[in-house]
Amino acid sequence: MRLLTCSAVDLTQTDIRDEIQAERLPQLMDLYAGEWWSAGRTSDDVARMLQETDLLVASVHLPTDRLVGFARVITDFAYLAVILDVIVAPDWRGSGLGSLLVDTVVGHARLAKVQSLELVCQPSLVPFYGRRGFTDRVGGSRLMRRTADALLLDP
């Protein structure tokens, strides 16, 4: 299969979906396998995560039936929604797909009454999220973490 480059990508040939069927799990695992922060995830854990996620957005390239983007949200639907796992296939980066995923989440009708949308990102992505209305000015708040995943402590 020939890999697409961002110059060959046509976002009109993608479909945004609010679910990932079980048969598409290997494609999501391929997306996760390419990232430092998610490479160690297992299919069983990701399947459980998908069942417990409050809202998800997936992008499928229709001509190849390939999952090329993903984002998920955990929320109480009133006060806080946390956007997690925004990921775009490497050969689709720079195509606008990441923007489409985030804009779809931010504009989602189920999140319309949520007071705060939050996310955690690497410093290099601050400008990307800043263009979508996010800020790293969070007052005196500090991110704190208790984790068994050493990769999340010092990438």
Going along the chain from its start, the domains and CATH numbers come out as 6-152 (3.40.630.30)
Helix 43-52 to helix 25-33 angle (10° resolution) is 110
Q: Per-residue confidence at 2, pLDDT binned at 50, 70, 90?
A: very low
Mind listing the pLDDT tens digit for each residue in 68-111?
999 999 999 999 999 999 999 999 999 999 999 999 999 999 99
Residues 43-56: what's their mean pLDDT?
96
Mind listing the pLDDT tens digit for each residue in 107-142?
999 999 999 999 999 899 999 999 999 999 988 888
Rounded CA-CA distance 126/116 in Å is: 17
